[in-house]
A and B are shown apart, each in its own frame.
Chain A
Amino acid sequence: MLASLLILLSLAAAGKTWQDLSQQIFKNGVNDSAYDPLHSADVEAFVQQLMHDFHTP
């Protein structure tokens, strides 16, 4: 808990976000963090709607 708080404080001091930290952790490989810009509910629904409306198999 204290470690997390210290990390947050250090990130805030450096003007960084959790996402920046994630980049430092998951280098040189396919990401396995929780954040996934391609599999959010918003994006998946958007893609399915596009495929339907514009006729993409």
Chain B
Amino acid sequence: MAIIHGNETWEAGFGVTDNTTQEPVTPHTLFYTGSTTKSFAAALASKLVYSRDNEDAHKDIEWSTPLRDIIGEDFLLQDSYATSHISLEDALSHRTGLPRHDMSWINGDANVKGMVRRMRYLPFHNEIRTTYEYCNLMFAAVAHAIETATGEMFDHLLHVWIFEPLGMHESVYSIPDAQAMAADPSNEANLARGHLYDQVTGEYVQPAWDSIPPGIGAGGVISTVHDYLKWIRVFLHPGEHSATIFKAAIDDMTFPHIPVSKDSPPFKGAMTYGLGLELATYRNYNVVLHDGALAGYMCGMLWLPEREWGVVAMHNSYNFTHNVLIWHLLDNFLETPEAERIDFVGWTQDLLAKLAKRTNTARERLYPDAPKTGEEVVAPSLDLEAYEGLYQHPGYHNLTISVPARTEADPEASVTLDIAGAARSYLDLSGRMDHVNADNWMFRCSMGPHQPFDDMGKIQFVVGKGDEVLGMRFQAEPAIDGEKGMAWFEKIARRDRRLSSSSRKRLLLLRAIL
């Protein structure tokens, strides 16, 4: 963690980068910084708006320029008005009405153009400019627009336009670059591994490097607290860095574009979103902040412009402790009386407990009319093997349904869900599905073993008159209630069972279970 106050800085590292190597964390340890990347995306977009001359291809771009005008037919949405009107500032302030749809991009696709083109298959949740609707995909659209307008790659511009001018020599945008920096003895950097704590076994699990989603403008920066102070400093002293980011751009980024919530303790009054940054008021001071979370890493940055004070905390675990630390340090700085301090430890414990409860009570929440414990459950319409196969939706990755072998270690094997073709996935859908009633099932969307962030979703198979499975309604976007939130996955292929002669015996056993 690190603090800046005026022209002074303080930095410190605690703990280890890797629970197996026990290498110490220092202020020069590289961490994924998750969604704090969004502030860099907004800053790059501001370069299109402000630092232009008559020779630039992007000389006509304003914050209000529709994305469609920049990236053309790649940007096509289900709402024609939204397609033609969603602008750079709409996308950067989460006011487009399109929800997260993270399942569309988070597993294994590094091509922003491909991600953006899939948005045409994804339903809206709200009207444009009416509601705060956090959407990572819209930042992919912004990244695509920046690349289209400049003819340069997003990560190249990040280095040339921001990292290098600010002296952020410990900031990169890819794992290979981070690994190379950590291996270079000429600098002080080392690289933290992300860790997920298994609540049941009490052990840490490290997400594999190749399971971490690609940076798409919404996330992807890998940096150190030492470097992030340089980034925060730009906002504390906006006039000093106009060659890198215009003061007007900083004013735009920190101007409220959409209300986030009416009352968000510990803040006083409304919390709002600027461009890639959150805005609020605490103890009569304006506060600018953003969090980030990705694959066992979390990061938070916060600053008080009027006091020229800022703080950043990065950690390689998934538990919000950066927020607890940040607020502790902020209250220390503001000399907040003990009696008036928010109990952030308790607040964080409550949040984690609520998340776990949400998962544990998913059955009642998702299927309130389903049979209760002890009541008769209707079996699936068809034999389990009939559900096996490949299911397709153009906006998401294909999914496979299969029935694995029963083993002594796993005698209650049931239907399982997998992402087809994805070698590894951070937001994991793989695993056993829970049968609820008839053709209604639940799946688990997991970030790792026994994580409080796991969520459950609905799967409803549809069987045709010919006793064949036509497809499944899949709850791909939890924010959208009802039928609209259920994506239709058409069954496009049966599983070829000719190669697994023993599986028939297993299926017979499974049928006996049901």
Binding site for B on A (CB under 8 A): 22-23, 26-28, 30-31, 33, 36-39, 42-44, 46-48, 50-51, 53-57
Contact = CB atoms under 8 A, between A and B. Distances in A.
Complex A-B, nearest 9 residue pairs according to Cβ-Cβ distance, in ascending order: A38-B12, A55-B197, A56-B317, A54-B319, A57-B19, A23-B6, A27-B7, A31-B8, A50-B321
A54 B7 contact: no
B226 to A, nearest CB: 9
A57 B9 contact: no
B195 interface: yes
**Which of A30, A42, A48 neighbours the largest number of chain B CB atoms within 10 Å of its CB?**
A30
Given A53-B345, A57-B18, A57-B317, A36 B324 contact: no
Contact of B14 (A27, A33, A48, A53): A48
A50 B344 CA distance: 11
A45 to B, nearest CB: 11
A47 B14 CA distance: 8
Contact of B10 (A38, A51, A55): A38
A57 B16 contact: yes
A57 B325 contact: no
A37 B12 CA distance: 10
Contacts of B332: 37, 42-43
Interface of B: 1-3, 5-12, 14-19, 195, 197, 204, 315-317, 319-321, 324-325, 328-329, 332-333, 345, 348
A26 B204 CA distance: 41
Contacts of A55: 197, 204, 317, 319
Given A37-B329, A57-B316, A23 B8 contact: yes
A26 B8 contact: yes
Contact of A56 (B2, B11, B316): B316
**Which of A53, A55, A56 neighbours the largest number of chain B CB atoms within 10 Å of its CB?**
A56
B317 A30 contact: no
A37 to B, nearest CB: 6
28 contacts: A23-B6, A23-B8, A26-B8, A27-B7, A30-B10, A30-B11, A31-B8, A31-B9, A31-B10, A33-B8, A36-B10, A37-B3, A37-B10, A37-B332, A38-B10, A42-B332, A46-B328, A47-B14, A48-B14, A50-B324, A51-B14, A53-B345, A54-B319, A55-B197, A56-B195, A56-B316, A57-B195, A57-B204
**Which of A37, A43, A44 neighbours the largest number of chain B CB atoms within 10 Å of its CB?**
A37
Nearest to B18: A57
A32 B321 CA distance: 27
Nearest to A53: B345
A33 B5 CA distance: 13
A15 to B, nearest CB: 15
A39 B12 CA distance: 8
A24 B499 CA distance: 76
A38 B146 CA distance: 38
Nearest to A40: B332
Contacts of A31: 8-10
